[in-house]
Structure 1
Amino acid sequence: MKGNFEKVIASETPVLVDFYADWCGPCKMLAPTLKQVKAELGDAVRIVKIDVDRNQPLAGKYQVRGVPTMILFKNGKLLWRKSGALPKHEIVDAINAAR
């Protein structure tokens, strides 16, 4: 994912990156919410999940200290960042603001 990640976040379409861990309870709570976000917004957003245990250098680069952490990118720029399991409307609002 390393070299590919930069290409993915360089997209003109907003890219929401979900840094998560399999052992994380709030991450499991967030997963269905992200599916709802994708269902609502469709092709207006790309959602990418990054396992912090398998991608420690990437998590370190973006200073992910806790999971879940969501970071929204567009054209390679970091536009929004939040940690914790958030309600759907907050995530949708952030993505809509980036479009």
Structure 2
Amino acid sequence: MEAALATVYGSTAIAVGIILAAAGLGSALGWGLICSKFLEGIARQPEMRPQLMGQMLFTGGLMEAFPMIVLGMSMWFIFANPFAAQVMDAIKVAGG
């Protein structure tokens, strides 16, 4: 019983680590693309800098929201693990 729960919690922790790493990497790549396109736009039309700055910051804010949403979902998996409840129910059914 304890081994099954330990396996579920361990697997969940590994999956959450991979998910958070992917979200961080995706956000970093997104910021890099946003900033590079911002600089390209300024190089083409320097007079558009204020408008491009606003668009860059707005899009960057959306980009930063993604890892925070993923962090919230990951914390749900860590602290209120739905898989552990399923394992406990299966153990109760199998045990009697």
Question: TM-score under structure 2 normalisation?
Answer: 0.26
Q: Which of the pair is proportionally richer in strand?
A: 1
Between structures 1 and 2, the one with greater helix share: 2
Which structure has the greater CA radius of gyration? 2
TM-score, structure 1 length as denominator? Answer: 0.25
